[in-house]
Structure 1
Amino acid sequence: MADVKQKIISSSKKRMQFLNALLNDIAALEYMIEQDMFDKNIHIGAEQELCIVQDEWRPADNNLALLKEINHSSFTTELAKYNIEINLDPCEVKAGCFKKMHKQLSDKLKLANKAAATLNSKLILAGILPTLTRNEINLDYLTPLLRYEYLSKKLKKIRGGNFDLYLKGVDELHIRHDSIMFEACNTSFQTHLQIHPKEFVQAYNWALIISAPVLAAASNSPLLMGKELWSEIRIALFQQSIETRHHIHETRDQHPRVTFGNNFIYDNVTEIYKEDISRYEILITTDDIEDSLEMVKQGNIPKLNALRLHNGTIYRWNRPCYGVNDNKAHMRIENRYIPAGPSVQDEMANMAFWTGLMLAIPRDAIEAWNHYEFRDVKSNFFKAARSGIESIVIWKEKEISVKELILHDLIPLAYAGLKKSNLSDEEIYIYLGTIEKRMHTHTGAQWQIKNYRSLRYHISQTDSVISLTQAMYENQQKNIPVCDWKNINVKKYVEDRHKKIKYVKQLMTTDLITAFPDDSLEFVSHIMEWHNIDHMMVEDRKGKLSGIITIGHIHELKQQDIDLKEIPIKRIMRKDIQTIHPEEEIEKALEIMKSLWISSLPVIDNDHLIGIVTK
């Protein structure tokens, strides 16, 4: 909606005007459906989101400078300074359409990469950039455009306070944050399919049903800040990053703005819009409003700006969208759950797989509610997000492995859908063959996890995500799909990182055993003995460093026959502790340890203990 001037609602009168415009747009849309005022051709389209990196494969902050250098209308901003977006021109679904879109995307990436090189930057396709840290998840990295500032302020105001992020997979991540910037971690390859409104109900319900297997096959975002989470953690991250629900009585249902939905639709697309208008507060408004109902009655095509603007602030994973091209109105389904990457070939394969399935709706999906249980469909989606192609789903009331479902049922179905649109066997195989081979090798998520673990055996979390990101970029530059990516040459990357070790964060240990100030000396003594350590950091309940206790302190008291069970360590711990910041150079850490005759240094960031570096 960058084409519409957006504003924060400044008064009750402005809010009322916008609500009336929404009602008018709904009435206009219903009239257009009744009068069949929509384009009947089938088109596909896509939006490619990209990550910009600079030194050490870390997020850049130069998207506006890069867009100026690219100087092309297909490119636009995203929420964060380290992201940009490419809008691809729609193509009619017919022979050669995917090859044409593939070339279009490759050409635009080539243009963008050339411009990025002039700014000492690179562009990476990743569902979540592995090198993102907490440092880049703040408003300093918000793209300085009013619509992003409006959105951030309004969502926080509705929330009534900070946002809580709690993600749990193999690892856990729990962070409280003060803005919507965690949303910027997510990078997608959004695919669109134009659907005639008369066929929208069956198409939308089928899109919901196939979401789980398509997501599983495409999964490519298993890591966030070095933590192993879900196969496609974008799904949970996006919902929590802009969670506007606040704590009310637990018996009251509240609806997140990021949603899979709560049921099939039965009549037409306006069911979704009416539901969203009823349940979700207006975030932004515009003065660019027309009398849409009067326009359609006169035979003109309206923009429905109020409806489009409100729809753009509700993030359904399968989102209905109204648009106008060449003065022709159309409805499309926007697939928002497919991640960016691992390669252009993979993205086009994901798009072809989804499109083929959408063009081959089986009879039992025409009245989906008679053959599929919606809660199974929704549950399948989150299972696929958690476990990728290793998940087990419920398909027509039977358990089946999603890998088996894709190989035996869905790839043949997608083939039939693409064949019906006159695509050649060669073009179909180029893309569906990639999906099939992925089932026998690995998805992007599986490749990342396997190679990240291999790196972590030898180098720190910081260096591991750098090496992983570098390897992803190098594979993307070879223009090969992830099913053909070899495992990382660990020795090569480890040697490369060892040559570049410079900062404390690259050497520090983050798996710490710590004590609380009110723990007994007896308890701490046993912990030290069990783990064969001679000192422990003491932190308070908020993670702030309070002091240090050494085995020497404990031995002195034992020699005096003092009962350690009744003495809290806060009585004898040393509170004047030398610390260091993770961004300091290793040479400085060594100098401090040498001058103070100590063997380790606590690493502190924002007063919180995050690690320890030793000689």
Structure 2
Amino acid sequence: MGRELRQTVFTDEDHQLFRTRLKQSLGVLHDTVARPSFGLAQPMLGAELEMFLADPDDGLPVARNEEVRLAAADPRLVLEVNRYNLEANLTPVPLRGAPFTALHQETRDLLGAVAKAALPHGAVPYCSGTLPTLRPGDLTRHNVSAKRRYGLLDDALGRTPRDLSVHVHGEPSCRMRSDSVCAQGAASSWQIHLTVPAADFARFYNAAQLVIAPVLAVCANSPVLLGRLLWDESRIPWYEQAFGTPRSPATDSFERTGFGDGWVRDGVGELMEAACRHRPLMPMCADTPPTEDTDHGGPAELEELRLHVGTVWWWNRPVYDPVGDGHLRIEMRALPSGPTPADMAANTALLTGLVLDHATGHEPVAPALPFAQARANFYAAARQGLDATLWWPRTSGAPVRRNAHELVRSLLGRAARGLAGAGVTDAEVQRWLGVMEARVASGCSPARWHRKARRAGACDRDIFRHSLELASEDVPVHAWPVPGWRGRGPWA
């Protein structure tokens, strides 16, 4: 969905042809990923960084993303949903040596370039899952970015204010009616892309589904939305409702978004087929039908399938990429943006290491945990962060309930083992998992820092200014002092 669309009006014939192409694509995909030449010899790691543009004094959003992007003149920057949202696409790096240091340095450089370009427009980049100073009036159609695809999404989803009531329970609860995809502009993510071998796709995908809950618990960074103190990761339920449609009036689950419906057993085709059950939103067809053989000799393009999967917003999403000899990757979309480049690099190291270790051959393809419990874990972690109680599988016997804080502590060794097995240097593992170890030891997730500042009497604008200053120094959040806190040190 990152590209602009050349077609804006779709007929019944377009929809019918597109569905036919999707069905054809599933067969071509099966044959393509089975080719001996398909896939990358070396695993790769990439990331997408979403950010807000905000006034450095009062934290209010600054709707100048197009002007900032043009001033930065950096092809890695693209417009996001609202005019105060930007996204940076980082350069993929080999998953060996010092990949997290490379992502960390590029993130710092990109944020520096955005800050320089934004300064004449009275804005600074701000990395957080939600912008705490955002107001309901900022989430209206007049703030939607000038890209045709967002208007087309609104039309395709058929939104009316009556249809979309976005709400998150908290202190007090937050509820807003919206008739536009602009509600999604309240959320920013740090999305990690991990290439995986086609033959082991189910094993890696299930591993990502299993470990995302404890990782999200310690990385949560979205406790305040529209002035309300809500979930530790309020971005999760907000995003699902902003892009999804209710399955039925009696359920809290949503079509097109969410955690999924079960463990994967048959590979990437199983997920792609599930995605194709959703109604096409952008039925734009390529000039020719999907075929395994292409003019350039590479793998099938599968343009219709790739476009369609980009309109299904699962928290862990499969990606087929035909570049070069082609590859599959998992787009892990659940982690929030920010608060610092160092924190995001450390978050990536923890999540990647746990996925790698749980995807090894000594683990079953489907974890020894009912999928309903894995899904419950995800939302418990989003809601309660490190205070959540999560179900966790055992090598023998029934799953047990674990405190998220203690569970993350116990998993650090497995993350280190997964990274070492991929060829990440010991110094790199110690550096970035050391940040996570210090965060766990202090009990200081980004969400907990914000909550503590709130309890100490700081308002959201003051918290914004403090976090902006501390983030500019790239000091990990576990070392941040809390404004107004009178204890012995930041987290006494």
> Would the TM-score normalized by the shorter structure come out above 0.5?
yes
TM-score by length of 1: 0.74
Q: Identify if the C-alpha distance between structure 1 residues 221 and 5 changes in structure 2 by more than 3 Å, giving closer, same or farther.
A: same
**Residue 487 (1) aligns with residue 487 (2):** no
SS of alignment partner, residue 170 of structure 1: coil
Give the aligned partner of residue 222 of structure 2. Answer: 221
Contact 2:218/2:445, CA 8 A, preserved across alignment: yes
CA RMSD across the alignment: 2.1
- 1:191-590 matched pairs, under 5 angstroms: 191-245=192-246, 255-278=254-277, 280-295=278-293, 299-325=297-323, 327-361=324-358, 362-363=360-361, 365-369=363-367, 371-396=368-393, 397-408=399-410, 410-441=411-442, 442-455=444-457, 464-489=459-484
Structure 1 gaps, min length 5:
457-463, 492-615
The percentage of counterpart residues that share the same residue type is 27
Q: How far does residue 288 in structure 1 lie from its aligned partner after superposition?
A: 3.3
In structure 1, how many angstroms separate the alpha carbons of the residues matched to 2:2 and 2:241?
24
In structure 2, how many angstroms separate the alpha carbons of the residues matched to 1:238 and 1:422?
35
Contact 1:6/1:285, CA 8 A, preserved across alignment: no
How far does the alpha carbon of each residue in 1:118-150 deviate from its partner, in whole angstroms, 9 at most, with x for none?
222111111101110011010010001111110
Q: How far does residue 328 in structure 1 lie from its aligned partner after superposition?
A: 2.5
* Stretch moving more, 446-455 or 197-206: 446-455
In structure 2, how many angstroms separate the alpha carbons of the residues matched to 1:6 and 1:338?
32
How far does the alpha carbon of each residue in 1:460-518 deviate from its partner, in whole angstroms, 9 at most, with x for none?
xxxx1111111110010111000000111479xxxxxxxxxxxxxxxxxxxxxxxxxxx
How far does the alpha carbon of each residue in 1:258-295 deviate from its partner, in whole angstroms, 9 at most, with x for none?
110000011111111111212x1111122435433252
Q: Identify if the C-alpha distance between structure 1 residues 364 and 297 changes in structure 2 by more than 3 Å, giving closer, same or farther.
A: farther
In structure 1, how many angstroms separate the alpha carbons of the residues matched to 2:424 and 2:40?
22
Q: How far does residue 231 in structure 1 lie from its aligned partner after superposition?
A: 0.6
Contact 2:161/2:178, CA 8 A, preserved across alignment: no
In structure 2, how many angstroms separate the alpha carbons of the residues matched to 1:347 and 1:418?
16
Contact 2:259/2:375, CA 8 A, preserved across alignment: yes
Q: How far does residue 428 in structure 1 lie from its aligned partner after superposition?
A: 1.0
Q: How far does residue 298 in structure 1 lie from its aligned partner after superposition?
A: 9.0
How far does the alpha carbon of each residue in 1:176-196 deviate from its partner, in whole angstroms, 9 at most, with x for none?
222122211110010110001
SS of alignment partner, residue 175 of structure 1: strand
Q: Identify if the C-alpha distance between structure 1 residues 13 and 95 changes in structure 2 by more than 3 Å, giving closer, same or farther.
A: same
Q: How far does residue 247 in structure 1 lie from its aligned partner after superposition?
A: 5.0
Q: How far does residue 373 in structure 1 lie from its aligned partner after superposition?
A: 1.1
In structure 2, how many angstroms separate the alpha carbons of the residues matched to 1:282 and 1:168?
31
**Residue identity in the other structure for 1:193:** L
Q: Identify if the C-alpha distance between structure 1 residues 171 and 161 changes in structure 2 by more than 3 Å, giving closer, same or farther.
A: closer
Q: How far does residue 359 in structure 1 lie from its aligned partner after superposition?
A: 1.7
* Stretch moving more, 159-168 or 62-71: 159-168
SS of alignment partner, residue 91 of structure 2: strand
Q: How far does residue 221 in structure 1 lie from its aligned partner after superposition?
A: 0.4
Contact 2:62/2:122, CA 8 A, preserved across alignment: no
Contact 1:125/1:343, CA 8 A, preserved across alignment: yes
Q: Identify if the C-alpha distance between structure 1 residues 247 and 420 changes in structure 2 by more than 3 Å, giving closer, same or farther.
A: closer
**Residue identity in the other structure for 1:482:** V
Contact 1:289/1:305, CA 8 A, preserved across alignment: no
**Residue identity in the other structure for 1:219:** A
**Residue identity in the other structure for 2:470:** N
Q: Identify if the C-alpha distance between structure 1 residues 35 and 473 changes in structure 2 by more than 3 Å, giving closer, same or farther.
A: same
**Residue identity in the other structure for 2:322:** V
Q: How far does residue 417 in structure 1 lie from its aligned partner after superposition?
A: 1.1
Q: How far does residue 376 in structure 1 lie from its aligned partner after superposition?
A: 0.8
Give the aligned partner of residue 105 of structure 2. Answer: 103
Q: How far does residue 300 in structure 1 lie from its aligned partner after superposition?
A: 2.9
SS of alignment partner, residue 328 of structure 1: coil
Contact 1:170/1:229, CA 8 A, preserved across alignment: yes
How far does the alpha carbon of each residue in 1:547-605 deviate from its partner, in whole angstroms, 9 at most, with x for none?
xxxxxxxxxxxxxxxxxxxxxxxxxxxxxxxxxxxxxxxxxxxxxxxxxxxxxxxxxxx
In structure 2, how many angstroms separate the alpha carbons of the residues matched to 1:298 and 1:28?
16
How far does the alpha carbon of each residue in 1:420-479 deviate from its partner, in whole angstroms, 9 at most, with x for none?
1222222112111111111122100000011023235xxxxxxx1111111110010111
In structure 2, how many angstroms separate the alpha carbons of the residues matched to 1:191 and 1:486?
29
In structure 1, how many angstroms separate the alpha carbons of the residues matched to 2:485 and 2:404?
31
Contact 1:357/1:413, CA 8 A, preserved across alignment: yes
Give the aligned partner of residue 586 of structure 1. Answer: none
**Residue identity in the other structure for 1:58:** L
In structure 1, how many angstroms separate the alpha carbons of the residues matched to 2:194 and 2:63?
33
Give the aligned partner of residue 29 of structure 1. Answer: 29
In structure 1, how many angstroms separate the alpha carbons of the residues matched to 2:405 and 2:485?
29
Q: Identify if the C-alpha distance between structure 1 residues 149 and 217 changes in structure 2 by more than 3 Å, giving closer, same or farther.
A: same
Give the aligned partner of residue 155 of structure 1. Answer: 157
Give the aligned partner of residue 40 of structure 1. Answer: 41
How far does the alpha carbon of each residue in 1:68-121 deviate from its partner, in whole angstroms, 9 at most, with x for none?
100111000000000101000100111122111211111111111111112221
SS of alignment partner, residue 293 of structure 2: helix
In structure 1, how many angstroms separate the alpha carbons of the residues matched to 2:303 and 2:288?
8
* Stretch moving more, 360-369 or 198-207: 360-369
* Stretch moving more, 238-247 or 121-130: 238-247
SS of alignment partner, residue 212 of structure 1: helix
SS of alignment partner, residue 333 of structure 1: strand
Aligned residues: 477
In structure 1, how many angstroms separate the alpha carbons of the residues matched to 2:226 and 2:23?
43
**Residue identity in the other structure for 1:220:** N
**Residue identity in the other structure for 1:480:** V
In structure 1, how many angstroms separate the alpha carbons of the residues matched to 2:365 and 2:93?
29
Relative contact order (C-alpha < 8 Å, sep 6+): which is higher?
2
**Residue identity in the other structure for 1:240:** Q
Q: Which has the larger radius of gyration?
A: 1
How far does the alpha carbon of each residue in 1:318-374 deviate from its partner, in whole angstroms, 9 at most, with x for none?
01111133x2211100110000011110000010111111221255643325x1211
Q: Identify if the C-alpha distance between structure 1 residues 122 and 395 changes in structure 2 by more than 3 Å, giving closer, same or farther.
A: same
Q: How far does residue 17 in structure 1 lie from its aligned partner after superposition?
A: 1.4
Give the aligned partner of residue 490 of structure 2. Answer: none
In structure 2, how many angstroms separate the alpha carbons of the residues matched to 1:451 and 1:296?
57
In structure 2, how many angstroms separate the alpha carbons of the residues matched to 1:244 and 1:315?
12
**Residue identity in the other structure for 1:167:** V
Q: How far does residue 314 in structure 1 lie from its aligned partner after superposition?
A: 0.6
Q: How far does residue 5 in structure 1 lie from its aligned partner after superposition?
A: 2.5
Give the aligned partner of residue 184 of structure 2. Answer: 183
**Residue identity in the other structure for 1:2:** G
In structure 1, how many angstroms separate the alpha carbons of the residues matched to 2:23 and 2:248?
30
Match of 1:82 among 81, 84, 97: 84
Q: Identify if the C-alpha distance between structure 1 residues 289 and 269 changes in structure 2 by more than 3 Å, giving closer, same or farther.
A: farther
Q: How far does residue 312 in structure 1 lie from its aligned partner after superposition?
A: 0.7
**Residue identity in the other structure for 1:138:** T
SS of alignment partner, residue 457 of structure 2: helix
TM-score by length of 2: 0.92
Structure 2 gaps, min length 5:
394-398, 487-492
Q: Identify if the C-alpha distance between structure 1 residues 293 and 403 changes in structure 2 by more than 3 Å, giving closer, same or farther.
A: same
Contact 1:31/1:296, CA 8 A, preserved across alignment: no
